[in-house]
Amino acid sequence: MNQNTDKQVYSKPLFIICALLAVVGLVCWVMQLTKGLQMTNLNTYNTWGLYIIGFMIFTGIAAGSLLFSSSAFLFNSMAEYKPYAAIATIVGVICSVATAGLFIMVDMGNPLRAWRFIAGANVSSPMFWDFLIIILYLIIGIIFVSTLMKVAKGQKDSKSMYGISLAAFIAGLLVTITSFVFALQVARPLWNNPVQPISFLAAAIVAALALQIILFSALNKSGAMPMSSDKLAKLGKIAGIFLFVELLVVIGEAIVGMYSGSGEEAPIIYWLVAGEGAVYFWVEFIAIIAGLVLLFKKTDTSVTGAGVALFAIFMIKYNLLQAQLSNPLLIYPGSPAYSSNAYFPSLIEIGLFIGIISFGVVLALIAVQKISLGTKTNVGVNSNQSHGNIGVEAKA
């Protein structure tokens, strides 16, 4: 066994902190399960919040990571990332699906009835389609990695990557269906338009690449898996292009909503840009701009840029939810009193949000440790060495 295999690719304190935060999240969930969803700051109007935001982000990361990993085997311009496809898929797809699944579970009032998604499935529900897609991500992610492993071990021909890569790429594009949960609702004019599928796809790519940049920078720093700053910067630029698409969507929605000054979208946009939601909107706007500047900057700031871009995507999803839910179609006063206040999560929600993400990080750290062991010995990290290297072997 290579002596490198014993090397810890991450610091133990990080693992311990994440594990502790995951336990804090678990405590929050127990409290929420025993006392009900009253522990959240959700209400009749703002019926969805931080958990659904987490779900949107991590399904996006899963989809975007599938697009990233499969692109390496489908497009010559992305072939340089072949050696990173396995770890990108394990962390970006498998760990993200687990995280997204947990977000849905904690959002449900009756998580013990989750089996009804299968037993009582309503095929006309976009949420059911979403459920199928998440399962699809997981299955394709697992097949993708196992095929990659077999190719690396020489058990399969490198050409066999093409089929699964194509499937993974198409599956990644299906993140547009996640947007249908929102875009198909006639009750919600801000969502009920064809820009949402495009916005969801762009957000998925930004979030996934941002996560991959952070992951590969960390692996690079620890020496477990070198990635040149050029390759990191290229990922940053691609993320930047799609973040720019999101900027266009945000500006477009604002102008379309404000131009006429009346109609169904106008009050929502006014609420967001200049009303109760203004602080959140301008934080989102500044985060997008800052993310773009950092991602396109020439100096090596891609990790900061990736972090800011992830935060920008978080704010985009946050405002997508609260701007619409805080501004329903019927806002006449009555009981329960309608309030146009902005949504801010409760401590339990924040604890659970951080806890679930920390759990995802713990999963990723374990995976990275296991895989990079393999990487050092037989999967191969350095694309200059072709011995048993997943990417290079597959490319050959």
Partner 1 sequence: MRYAMAIDIDRCTGCDACAVACKVENNLPNDIWWNRILTIGGKTANSPKGTFPNLQMQFLPMNCQHCENPPCVKACPVGATYKREDGIVIQDYDKCIGCRYCMVACPYSGVRQFNWKKPEYAIGMAMGDAAVTPHQSDVVEKCNLCIHRVDQGLKPACIETCPNRARIFGDIDDPNSEVSQAIKGRSYVKILEEKGTKPSIFYLT
Tell me if 49 sits within 8 A of 349, measured CB to CB.
yes
Separation CA 5–CA 66 (nearest Å): 27
Considering only 31-39, 67-75, 162-170, 283-291, which stretch makes contact with partner 1 by CB under 8 A?
Answer: 31-39
- Of 15, 48, 162, 311, the residue at the interface with partner 1 (CB under 8 A) is 48
Q: How far is CA 140 from CA 88, 143, 146, 392, in A?
A: 13, 5, 10, 21
Binding of residue 317 to partner 1 (CB under 8 A): no
Question: Cβ closer to partner 1: 27 or 331?
Answer: 331
Question: Cβ closer to partner 1: 41 or 301?
Answer: 41
Nearest distance in Å: CB 183, partner 1: 12
Binding of residue 260 to partner 1 (CB under 8 A): no
Separation CA 325–CA 370 (nearest Å): 43
Separation CA 159–CA 90 (nearest Å): 21
Considering only 21-29, 103-111, 247-255, 378-386, which stretch makes contact with partner 1 by CB under 8 A?
Answer: 103-111
Nearest distance in Å: CB 123, partner 1: 10
Separation CA 6–CA 144 (nearest Å): 27
Question: Cβ closer to partner 1: 35 or 159?
Answer: 35
Nearest distance in Å: CB 164, partner 1: 29
* 98 token code pair: 């687990």
Q: Would you list the DSSP string of 170-204?
A: HHHHTHHHHHHHHHT-TT-TTTSSTHHHHHHHHHH
Determine if the peptide bond prior to 126 is cis (ω within 30°).
Answer: no
56-95 positions binding partner 1, by CB under 8 A: none
Considering only 93-101, 120-128, 139-147, 149-157, which stretch makes contact with partner 1 by CB under 8 A?
Answer: 120-128
Binding of residue 36 to partner 1 (CB under 8 A): yes
- Of 20, 127, 251, 286, the residue at the interface with partner 1 (CB under 8 A) is 127
Question: Cβ closer to partner 1: 1 or 186?
Answer: 186
- Of 38, 77, 155, 386, the residue at the interface with partner 1 (CB under 8 A) is 38
Alpha helices (H) along the chain = 12-35, 50-74, 85-89, 96-107, 116-119, 126-152, 160-173, 175-183, 195-222, 229-260, 265-274, 278-296, 302-325, 347-374, 390-395
Separation CA 305–CA 311 (nearest Å): 10
332-391 positions binding partner 1, by CB under 8 A: 332-338
Binding of residue 110 to partner 1 (CB under 8 A): yes
Q: Would you list the DSSP string of 129-166?
A: HHHHHHHHHHHHHHHHHHHHHHHHTTSS-TTHHHHHHH
Binding of residue 329 to partner 1 (CB under 8 A): yes
* One character per residue 150-189, x = contact with partner 1 (rule: CB under 8 A): -------------------------------x---xxxx-
Question: Cβ closer to partner 1: 104 or 381?
Answer: 104
Residue type present at position 301: T
Nearest distance in Å: CB 129, partner 1: 9
Separation CA 329–CA 144 (nearest Å): 45
Per CB under 8 A, residues contacting partner 1 are 35-38, 40, 42-45, 47-48, 104, 107-111, 113-114, 116-117, 120-122, 124-128, 131, 181, 185-188, 325, 328-338
